[in-house]
Every structure is written in C-alpha cells, then in structure tokens.
Amino acid sequence: MIKVIIVDDEPLAQDVLETYIEKFPELSLVSKCNNALEANEVLKNQDVDLMFLDIQMPQLTGIDFLKTLSRPPLVIFTTAYPNYALEGFELNALDYLLKPISLERFIKAVNKAVEQVKLQRNEPVIAAVASEGEQHPDYIFVKADKKLVKVNYHDIIYIEGLKDYVIIRMENQRVITLQTMKSLEDKLPSNRFKRIHRSYIINIDKINAIVGNMVEVMEKNLPKHLPIGKNYRDELNDMIEKNKL
C-alpha cells in the first residue's frame, strides 16, 4: 500500500481528494490535515509515502512547510494558483495539480507517484487504475467565492468566457470562477460539451436547435442564441452530420 496524507485547509477540497483516493486500491489515506502543523505531527509519527499538499494555508504555506522537512515524502501540490508552479518544481515536487482537479488529471499524478514508490521499493511498476466498476464523476468542482462549488454536468446549459473569468450558466444559478476557457474545456468530458466559439462552450444535451450560424438553447424558459465561431464550425457540423436524419 502507498500511504497518503492530505494537507489542505478547505474541507471541500479534502473531500474531493479523499473521494478520488478511494478509487485506487493501492492508495491508503492515513490522515487529513488542516494545516502544516498537523501534517508535521503526522509525519513524525507515521510513515507516509505521498503527500497532497495545498500551498495557500494559514500560519505556514505548503511551500514553506516543505522547505522545513529534511526527509519529505513524495509531494503533489494542489492549489488554485498557477503562479507557484515553478517554485513547486524547484522543490522537487512530483506534480502540481490546479484546482478544480479533474479525475483524469489526478490519475496522471497518481501514476507518477506509484512509479516513484515502486522504484524506491524495487517493485515492478504497474500504473494505478481506478477500481473496476468506477465511472468518471458526473460533476466538477470549481473555485468561486472562496469555496469549491460542486457543479453537476447535467445542470450546465452553457459556459461563457469573459477575459480571465468564465461564467457557468445553469437554469437557476450561475457560477463565476477565475479560470480560462481552455483549462475548463480540457477538464470537461468532450462527449458532453462542445466548444462552439472562443467565448462559448455548450452542453450538447441542451442544444435545442441550430439556426444558421447560431446554436439555440433554452435559458429561463426563453430561447437563447449563441454564435458559432468559424474556427469551430467544421467540428460542430461533423457532430451534427453524424446524428442527422
């Protein structure tokens, strides 16, 4: 077993990581810590192979905490701030996961960790695989208003880009998060969401009609028309042709 701890001051972020960790039979979660001081006590009393470490925490940041450890476990940083990536890798972090963390990206990071632990133990290297019968989650967590908000895929009508922010529009609410359209597009399942414009991603299930160079969806019981960008038109047309009678 690969013994794991989570160090994060956000309970919802801890829950997301714990849910992912439970999908891997090779991983054993030994502790969830709210700050670096709690994690330090765990590391003094238990053998830990892998630490999921948040960066922005009260009292002591994850980066400063890692600098204090003479023999740290493998570290995967988890943070909402991409500007710490270089410093994280300079400290020999195994990986750097940006919140909200997708299961696909988590799997890649865990496979790196498994490989490193196996090499340290001189064991055969076999990539970690989610438990049989597990399916990809039907939701994503996005950071908004200083918390991680769970957004179910089926609730999303469309996503609108606005400079460095995106607006996730749903029937009864909207969520605004500091993120690029490209990063969100990469996290969403391509069989359910389609980029139709540099400023719009639509939920395929919510398409009501194609009207010329516009996609029609229903928002607040009224038709809403979203433009189709010329760089995305051919791919959208291919999808339509495959499903046209």
Per-residue pLDDT of 163-177, as tens digits, reads 778 999 998 889 998
% of the chain with per-residue pLDDT over 90:
47
pTM above 0.85, yes or no: no
For residue 17, give the amino acid letter: L
**Other Cβ atoms closer than 10 A to 44:** 7
Q: Within its chain, how far is the Cα of 75 from the centroid?
A: 17
More confident residue, 136 or 72: 72
135 has a pLDDT exceeding 70: no
Residue 89: its pLDDT value, please? 57
pLDDT digits (tens, 9 = 90+) for 46-67: 999 999 999 989 889 999 999 9
Mean of the per-residue pLDDT values for the chain? 86
Confidence of residue 80 (pLDDT cuts 50, 70, 90): confident
Output 227 or 243, whichever has higher pLDDT: 227
List 195's β-bridge partners, or say none: 201
CA dist 84 and 213 (Å) reads 41
- Can you tell me the mean pLDDT for 152-158? 93
Cα 162 to its chain centre, rounded Å, is 20
Residue with tokens 């810590």: 33
| Residue 29 near residue 21 (C-beta atoms within 8 A) | yes
User: So what's the pLDDT on residue 87?
Assistant: 64
Confidence at 20, pLDDT banded by 50, 70, 90: very high
Please tell me which of 83-97, 174-188, 219-233 the model is most confident about, judged by mean pLDDT: 219-233
